[in-house]
Amino acid sequence: MLASDPEIDTSPKVADEVKYTTCYMCACRCGIKVHLRDGKVRYIEGNRDHPVNHGVLCAKGSAGIMTQTSPARLTKPLKRVGPRGAGEFQEIEWSEALATAEQWLGRIRATDPKKLAFFTGRDQSQALTAWWAAEFGTPNYAAHGGFCSVNMAAAGMYSIGGSFWEFGEPDFERTRYFMLFGVAEDHASNPLKIGINKLRQRGAKFVSVNPIRTGYSAVADDWVGIRPGTDGLFIFSLIHELLSADKIDFAYLVRYTNASWLVIDAPGSAAHGLFVRSADGRALVWDGENQRLASSNDITVKPALVGRFALPNGTSAIPSFELLARRFLAPEYAPERVAATTGVEASKIRQIAAELARVAFEEEIVLDLPWTDWAGRRHDKTVGRPVSFHAMRGISAHANGFHTCRALHVLQMLLGSIDVPGGWRYKPPYPRQAPPGPKPSGKSVAAGKTLGGSPLGYPLAPEDLLVDSAGRALRIDKAFSWEAPLAAHGLMHLVITNAWKGDPYPIDTLFMFMANMSWNSAMNTTGTRSMLTDKDDRTGEYKIPRIIYSDAFWSEMAAYADLILPDTTYLERYDCISMLDRPIGTADAAADSIRQPVIALDRDVRPFQDVLIELGARLKLPGLIDANGAPRYPGGYADYITRHERAPGVGLLAGWRGSHGDKAGRGAANPRQLDAYIANKCFWTAEIPDEAKFYRFANMRYLAHAEAMGFLSEPKPITLQLYVEPLQRFRLAAEGHGTVQPPPAERERIRTYFDPLPIWYPPFEEAAVDAEQFPLHAVTQRPMAMYHSWGSHNAWQRQIHSENRLYMHRATGTALGIADDDWVWIVSHHARVKGQVRLMDGVNRHTVWTWNAIGRSPGAVRLAPNAPEVTRGFLLNHIISELLPARDGGYRYANADPVTGQAAWYDLRVRIERIGAFSVVTDTNERPLQSPPNARPVPLTLSYGREFRTRS
């Protein structure tokens, strides 16, 4: 009976205004286009022109409206009025909040600046926050990298002057074989999905190495369900196979790596294991044709890669390649020998090694693209080996993660696939020199003085460590001490424990930003909470006397603060995604971007960065005041972004510099710079010249370009480090050489783990606990629709993940008499937690897992105390100890990598005890966190968007 369709309005008005900015629903920093109607957000979509996401937007980014309208948003500064942790606060004015912080911090700076521990979680303004810490004069600064992926970053920086994610990406346009290791469904979120689609459209093979077959692993051609913590051994075996078959790229090794550099073989001497160097410090090689020593930068020489060569001083030396080959050719790395440990069949290892070799060497890509190397030699073509890799926390969050990540870079070097067509490619401003710089600052801390450099950096020798004459740590987190010498991102996971213990010293104020350290960002969550509330018996004061916390939301950590500085959401402030911090470029182009306020504030909160700058000026920190003592950046963070220079002409943003806005990279500050960004949809991008796009470590045109743009301080070629000499310097110190040596108790550890070539060893927790008592691994995966705990107060995201199950293999469950939906205890050497089981097939049989950070504390982020996040959700954090079981002598090391201090989240070992088939909810005796004063009501029903509807 329908003669015609009912008339409907198919062209309704969408927005009054459209503004561009940068997403912050996770760490990927996609460009977004925000449609606004009557001052409210109508719709957020991806920015089609943006280099990160090209118009797409993930579930998290698409849920931004519900973060903007969350009832958990803080509305006013708060000061604690009840006992710490009880959540009793009183609203105060900003004037009082700032005066309080100024008073606390001013006293510290005037007496002992290191008594301020300033740690910022998933902070995207580290170019500001690290600099601010240095201006304040405290070495005790870091962001969240120490508990995230510092193994990945450090192993890459020391090996190849770059790493994965922000440092480089697979050449998805050309690669024909892609291996993904340990990526928990994110990092980088949209770019990886865009890339994997390209692979599948072209028929390129995609292999995923992950104990769990979800997310990206679900669409891989080959899923390698490896046992956690054994990725390094698996990579060792691949290298073993490639070397045995003589399938490695010798030409690449000779030209671009230190494979030919001679390593002194004089055991017991102070020079053992170091490179043979000329008087001017240049590494030497053995000229195989003329049988003599030669400089490593002499391009006329054909250097030997194997052999033992006599040195003038009577000792001998061996090319680093031979040492490496001997290591990896050892019979214990044959596929049959590693199969049982890794859980990967020998035939599968052989198959993957063969496929890597075939694609790398038989499917070579030759681009008709001439380039010139650092020595001025013209190459008519650009040759590529189309195998590529990407890896993240799954391989790095283990106590053997540094060396596993190193092994992966060694594999890439042996295949000749770094920065070549079809391989893995750097993103500007990388590559940087390898080994990297600068060194960490913090050796001398003095009242009223700045630090004199960045608190974080890359030590190259024991002399660069931050330790006192007795070898004790100078930093509160013990970063850059003998316990974690290459802790390039600090150890945020140790700050509270150490501050509570007063080891190495007590602090006065803990100042944190967006880090949920009393919940999902802590190991040993329950213990951490006790430490935050523990008091000194003598004085009755808290052992951590003062805590300042800045967050936009009423999180678990907010309850433990003494002073809360409420932050804005990402849609309400200026920010910059700077190349001085974690860059967002692509392999073909440098890029940076900004956030701008797209909606007006409706409550009394301020951007944290504005507050930090104002606080700095009140404290008269030198960089934050002008010659007259007046605030140098009265316009807050936006002003700082525009006018601050790190080096002459180099500021936070690289685009539209110069007084006319016509300079890129280097140039004077441009007062109209932010307007230029806003006019360009809030990002800037600069294409790398075609001839400079590959072999950048040795590409003359690129190196000159990088210097001109300010990416590199000088256009010096970068030699890829198969053999990492700085590690040997630490080992020599442990053997009694040099002026800075580890205390006796640390020597064996340093000697063992500071191997200049990759090693593999079982993760520490696995080695320390009884395998029969704790027979299973327990790890987390991060769901694609939720970023850590950020989504639980988001009404849409929490409908996708409001509870988390404990997933286990069907056969493992059957053997334990466990059925679907059973409640179990998950028991570690440290503690136990309850969870409800879901059986599945796509998981390693020795592994149980759950989604990360779904469980919440009652009342946190203003969820109902009986919300499923509370009653059915759980955190593995409760059963992960921040310390390893006591070793001989009773000392408990951090549950971390011995080289970098990275938190070893995924080393957890557990047993599963069945509670029963009946429904048992997670028991909690916790009193629910009450709401902050004058909190907005929590709606029982949400009808967001009704006002936008045009009814016909």
Partner 1 sequence: MTSLPAIAPDAKKLGLVIDLDICVGCHACAVNCKQWNSGGFAAPLTDSEPYGAEPSGVWFNRVHAFEAGEGAEGRTVYFPKSCLHCDDAPCVTVCPTGASYKRASDGIVLVDESKCIGCKLCSWACPYGAREYDPNEGVMKKCTLCIDRIYNENIAEAERVPACVSTCPASARHFGDLGDPKSEVSKLVAARGGYDLMPEQGTKPVNKYLPPRPRQNTSCASNAALPVATTEPAGLFLKWVDRLLSR
Closest CA to 912 of 817, 804, 770, 811: 817
Nearer to partner 1 (CB atom), residue 245 or residue 708: 245
Q: Which of 216, 553, 711, 823 binds partner 1 (CB under 8 A)?
A: 216
Q: Which of 49, 71, 91, 94 binds partner 1 (CB under 8 A)?
A: 71
Residues in contact with partner 1, shown as a per-residue x/- string from 787 to 806 under the rule CB under 8 A:
------x-xxxxxx-x----
| Contact status: 550 vs partner 1 (CB under 8 A) | no
Q: What minimum distance in Å lies between the beta carbon of 848 and partner 1?
A: 16
Q: Is 946 exposed, middle or buried (0-12, 13-18, 19+ CB in 10 A)?
A: exposed
The beta strand positions in 463-545, using DSSP E, are 509-513
Q: Which of residues 731-750 bind partner 1 (CB under 8 A)?
A: none
Tokens coding 834: 């309850």
Q: What secondary structure letter does DSSP report for 930? A: P
Q: Is 19 left (phi over 0), alpha (psi -120 to 50) or beta?
A: beta
CA atoms within 13 A on the CB side of 498: 22
Nearer to partner 1 (CB atom), residue 218 or residue 647: 218
Q: Which of residues 891-950 bind partner 1 (CB under 8 A)?
A: 938-949
Residue ranges of the alpha helices (H) in 43-168?
A: 59-62, 64-68, 94-111, 126-136, 150-160
| Contact status: 9 vs partner 1 (CB under 8 A) | yes
Q: Which of 223, 275, 549, 905 binds partner 1 (CB under 8 A)?
A: 223
Q: Which of 860, 867, 880, 884 binds partner 1 (CB under 8 A)?
A: 867
Q: Which of 109, 114, 144, 213 binds partner 1 (CB under 8 A)?
A: 213
Q: Which of 107, 302, 449, 927 binds partner 1 (CB under 8 A)?
A: 302
Q: What minimum distance in Å lies between the beta carbon of 302 and partner 1?
A: 4
Interface region with partner 1, contact rule CB under 8 A, candidates 266-274, 478-486, 567-575, 865-873: 865-873
Closest CA to 455 of 131, 126, 147, 123: 131
* Residue 802 · residue 849 · CB < 8 Å: no
| Contact status: 849 vs partner 1 (CB under 8 A) | no
**Sign of the CA dihedral running 193, 194, 198, 199:** negative
| Contact status: 39 vs partner 1 (CB under 8 A) | no
CA atoms within 13 A on the CB side of 628: 4
| Contact status: 838 vs partner 1 (CB under 8 A) | no
Beta-carbon contacts of residue 672 (< 8 Å; ≥ 6 apart)? 656, 661
- Secondary structure (3-state) at 446: coil
Interface region with partner 1, contact rule CB under 8 A, candidates 84-92, 304-312, 509-517, 681-689: 304-312
| Contact status: 300 vs partner 1 (CB under 8 A) | yes
| Contact status: 151 vs partner 1 (CB under 8 A) | no
Nearer to partner 1 (CB atom), residue 156 or residue 303: 303
Pairwise CA distance, residues 428 & 168, whole Å: 8
Q: Which of 45, 675, 691, 707 binds partner 1 (CB under 8 A)?
A: 45
Interface region with partner 1, contact rule CB under 8 A, candidates 382-390, 567-575, 600-608, 859-867: 859-867
Q: Which of 101, 226, 357, 757 binds partner 1 (CB under 8 A)?
A: 357
Q: Which of 75, 244, 269, 372 binds partner 1 (CB under 8 A)?
A: 244
Pairwise CA distance, residues 320 & 855, whole Å: 49
Nearer to partner 1 (CB atom), residue 484 or residue 806: 806
Q: Which of residues 311-350 bind partner 1 (CB under 8 A)?
A: 322, 325-326, 329, 347, 350
Nearer to partner 1 (CB atom), residue 374 or residue 764: 374
Nearer to partner 1 (CB atom), residue 222 or residue 926: 222
| Contact status: 784 vs partner 1 (CB under 8 A) | yes
Closest CA to 483 of 894, 907, 884, 905: 894
Nearer to partner 1 (CB atom), residue 334 or residue 532: 334
| Contact status: 717 vs partner 1 (CB under 8 A) | no
Q: Is 383 left (phi over 0), alpha (psi -120 to 50) or beta?
A: beta
| Contact status: 385 vs partner 1 (CB under 8 A) | no
Tokens coding 250: 């010798």
Pairwise CA distance, residues 82 & 532, whole Å: 14
Tokens coding 845: 């049989």
Beta-carbon contacts of residue 553 (< 8 Å; ≥ 6 apart)? 70, 72, 73, 74, 793, 861
Interface region with partner 1, contact rule CB under 8 A, candidates 131-139, 441-449, 475-483, 840-848: 840-848
Interface region with partner 1, contact rule CB under 8 A, candidates 185-193, 457-465, 703-711, 878-886: 185-193
